[in-house]
Structure 1
């Protein structure tokens, strides 16, 4: 048995992590979700330490995605005593934008004004009290999937009538005020072990897919601006509190400054953070090295 197992789905996203581990001589069992099955009566875990890297966007790549399977598998391993990084609580938070917003608001931080429904027919009545334009979001999204903007009630009514509104694989939808972002760029704060790691500003020119990693920068996708950022200490403190409350060991939080009132509004928690592309150019250092340092310590803790 190796000291570390990594559960993943995307075939390319974790090559930098695998490479960084190999360069440090750290052996890790790579467990791809496809083809995997488990015996719920088994008392065997793949490693004392398991790192969950299942992405919510996996449903975009395969209709038979592993999101809900991974929840059962990770719960089984946790019950057997494995230490699971980004375990069940983190995965459940990642898999519900509604739960994310409830958690953030419960901590006293600003969020975009939002209503949650489970029927498309209820989207119209859910707009009452919200300011236009609005967006409709899938509760389980990823890479900007399942988000549509509507500038007025007539546009949304037409979309509902024709079935052209977003769908979510859990049949939960969010109606949310479209927040005009001060300066045009959102802030993505990455954390490690519940603490601030780095932050970047991302400007996609109005696009909803703001993934800043190498694997997301594909031909045909609109380019996005990425630059290092130094958020206000209060913003950093808020992000740390959010990921700690969500049970996220490695992950990011996205926020924006509402240009209407200057209020910081947190709107997304991401337990599957791909570090920024070209980190040496943008940050001056490679976050994968810090991640490996942290994993080495977690391996030692799991052995203790």
Structure 2
């Protein structure tokens, strides 16, 4: 029997989708790719395949899961299986350099960025970028890995040559222009089936850990705004985002072979939009969704169910 196959490496992030698939009585099988075999002498099973491999897999001791997923996706695509978030999507998931070049190719503005391999080269890149304030981040990242804000080259040197320096898993550190916003928040636009689903406002006043999944929570779900006043860290926006910006994102996703993603952007003090992250292993925040009565994993499960039915039931 044809099924929905989920390629992943994190049960905590995947169970919310499988719960929805069970709720809809859809047949599925999860492939946890921290270990496995790619049998090029065999054909893949019949079904549709959804890849949600994460760039941060190595932080869960699944160092080579993305590489294994690359092989599995190549095998599936060789046999012309229906794959959502296939090889092209994974190439962007595990490299912000790939993300930024693809975004810019599609006319989407990104912060000024320089990649560097080597500690001396990181300092050289920071000098070259010519910004008073800048941030570092890992090229293969997720979960805010390696994100640090600096206001001087001296502060960067102390970090890079000090004991707290975080070595990137792929050896590449990015030096990036710091975008100052009038308010401490960013916006994340969610897309399912290549189409805009909703936008969520994310409070950044407590730092750069912006993963919306319930399993990513650090302490409390709410952060203080003022005495006696609180606001949620994640809040789904009623008015969404600019339609022209949505169109540009949807065109970018289509051109990049991405079906499901969260795209993060920020506005500077002059109101100009900078897009800085494409997450193809997108997660959703349960409290924000309950408040707005919009449910990403349910929408995703319905999308996968429809695709399965169209390919194997409807003739």
The normalised TM-score by structure 1 is 0.92
- Alignment pair present for 1:162 and 2:162: yes
Deviates more, 1:65-74 or 1:267-276: 65-74
Aligned residue in 1 for 2:275: 266
Equivalent of 1:225, from 224, 230, 233? 233
Distance of 2:88 and 2:129 partners within structure 1: 32
Distance of 1:155 and 1:112 partners within structure 2: 21
Unaligned runs of 5+ in 1: none
Please list, as runs of the form range in 1=range in 2, the aligned pairs for 1:142-161 lying within 5 A after superposition.
142-161=142-161
- Alignment pair present for 1:14 and 2:23: no
What does the per-residue CA deviation read over 1:206-263, in whole Å, with 9 as the maximum and x for residues that have no partner?
Answer: 511111222222447985611122212122222222322221111110000012x321
Cα offset for 1:90? Answer: 0.3
Aligned residue in 2 for 1:212: 212
Aligned residue in 1 for 2:77: 78
Distance of 1:120 and 1:272 partners within structure 2: 30
Please list, as runs of the form range in 1=range in 2, the aligned pairs for 1:10-159 lying within 5 A after superposition.
10-42=10-42, 44-62=43-61, 64-127=63-126, 128-159=128-159
Distance verdict in 2 for CA 1:98–1:206, change over 3 Å: farther
Cα offset for 1:53? Answer: 1.6
SS at match of 1:135: strand
SS at match of 1:292: helix
Aligned residue in 1 for 2:252: 242
Deviates more, 1:132-141 or 1:216-225: 216-225
Cα offset for 1:292? Answer: 2.0
Cα offset for 1:31? Answer: 1.4
Contact 2:9–2:62 (CA under 8 A) maintained in structure 1:
no
Distance of 1:290 and 1:52 partners within structure 2: 16
Contact 1:55–1:67 (CA under 8 A) maintained in structure 2:
yes
Distance of 1:269 and 1:209 partners within structure 2: 15
Distance of 2:234 and 2:48 partners within structure 1: 33
What does the per-residue CA deviation read over 1:112-137, in whole Å, with 9 as the maximum and x for residues that have no partner?
Answer: 11111222211122122431211111
Distance verdict in 2 for CA 1:220–1:281, change over 3 Å: closer
Distance verdict in 2 for CA 1:163–1:116, change over 3 Å: farther
SS at match of 2:174: strand
Distance of 1:241 and 1:178 partners within structure 2: 27
- Alignment pair present for 1:5 and 2:15: no
Cα offset for 1:194? Answer: 1.1
Q: Indicate the RMSD between aligned Cα atoms, in angstroms.
A: 2.0
SS at match of 2:111: coil
Aligned residue in 2 for 1:296: 305
SS at match of 1:183: coil
